[in-house]
């Protein structure tokens, strides 16, 4: 119903609770209502009508007319909704600025901790990363840190979603060899990676399938354990290893794929 949709929108986007939204829709429909009248024409319980109308007035959605029995009329929707959006934009700006300042202060306070991390705890060589968000953050970190070479055998995620990170690494001087599956190639038609390939800035090949998708950045290796159910629910278990011996093993497998793959 149209009324239900109006109530839903007021709740979702304009910070009114259920009873406030129902009351405001009733006011817009009837023009002027007393608390008792509101209870009779809306789904706001009679014991709550006074509180709900006072709350609407406080939030700027209604105006009261004092008398023996208070009457309430709605503020025109266009006026109050525009005002709400303007105030919300200002509030968001203030919150964003507060978060930026908090970030800068945290970075300043944490700098001594970051600088002493290696002597205190040593260098971690193996990490287990679960979930698409965490995997994305770790992959981005690898592209940010790479200095020499990127080897990517990809069957559906990194080349399409993190192309800008790959390109930034290439622009900083990293070399890149990328293998994608034939199934993935059509999704890359508008990718900047194809432009870089055509301009000779990276090497690109296509394989029928990849049994072991992987990302190698210098001595770092990142790959997923095979689990189709986890992949379906975006909770794949990924392994990150930093070890030149493990890197050599994976690089050997990558080179096998590279020899069998075709030019893009």
Q: What pLDDT, on the 0 to 100 scale, is given for residue 116?
A: 56
Q: Is the dihedral of CA 165, 147, 131, 237 positive or negative?
A: positive
Question: Domains plus CATH for the chain?
Answer: 2-75 (1.10.10.10), 123-263 (3.30.870.10)
Q: What pLDDT, on the 0 to 100 scale, is given for residue 209?
A: 87
Asked if pLDDT for residue 189 goes beyond 90, the answer is no
Q: What pLDDT, on the 0 to 100 scale, is given for residue 90?
A: 92
Question: Which one is predicted more confidently, 112 or 98?
Answer: 98
Residues 23-60: tens digit of each pLDDT: 999 999 999 999 999 999 999 999 999 999 999 999 99
* Paired sense of beta strands 149-154 and 175-181, if any: parallel
Q: What pLDDT, on the 0 to 100 scale, is given for residue 119?
A: 47
Per-residue pLDDT, averaged over 168-181, amounts to 93
Mean pLDDT of the residues in the chain: 88
Question: Which one is predicted more confidently, 194 or 255?
Answer: 255
The reported pTM is 0.56
Q: What pLDDT, on the 0 to 100 scale, is given for residue 50?
A: 94
């Amino acid at each position: 119903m149209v009324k239900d949709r109006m109530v839903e929108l007021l709740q979702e986007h304009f910070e009114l609770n259920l009873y406030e939204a129902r009351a405001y829709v009733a006011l817009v429909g009837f023009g002027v209502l007393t608390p008792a009248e509101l209870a009779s024409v809306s789904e706001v319980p009679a014991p709550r009508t006074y509180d709900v109308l006072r709350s609407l007035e406080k939030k700027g959605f209604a105006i009261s007319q004092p008398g023996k029995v208070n009457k309430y009329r709605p503020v025109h929707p266009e006026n109050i909704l525009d005002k709400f959006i303007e105030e919300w934009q200002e509030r968001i700006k203030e919150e964003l600025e507060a978060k930026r300042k908090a970030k800068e202060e945290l970075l300043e306070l944490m700098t001594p901790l970051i600088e002493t991390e290696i002597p205190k705890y040593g260098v971690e060589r193996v990490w287990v990363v679960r979930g698409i968000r965490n995997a994305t953050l770790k992959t981005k970190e690898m592209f940010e840190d790479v200095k020499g070479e990127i080897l990517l055998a990809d069957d559906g995620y990194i080349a399409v979603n993190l192309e800008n990170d790959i390109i930034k690494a290439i622009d900083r001087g990293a070399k890149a060899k990328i293998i994608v599956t034939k199934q993935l190639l059509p999704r890359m038609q508008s990718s900047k990676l194809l432009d870089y390939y055509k301009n000779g800035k990276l090497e690109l090949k296509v394989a029928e399938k990849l049994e072991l998708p992987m990302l190698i950045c210098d001595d770092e290796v990142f790959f997923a354990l095979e689990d189709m159910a986890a992949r379906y629910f975006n909770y794949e278990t990924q392994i990150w290893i930093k070890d030149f011996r493990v890197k050599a093993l994976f690089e050997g497998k990558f080179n096998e794929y590279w020899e069998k793959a075709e030019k893009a």
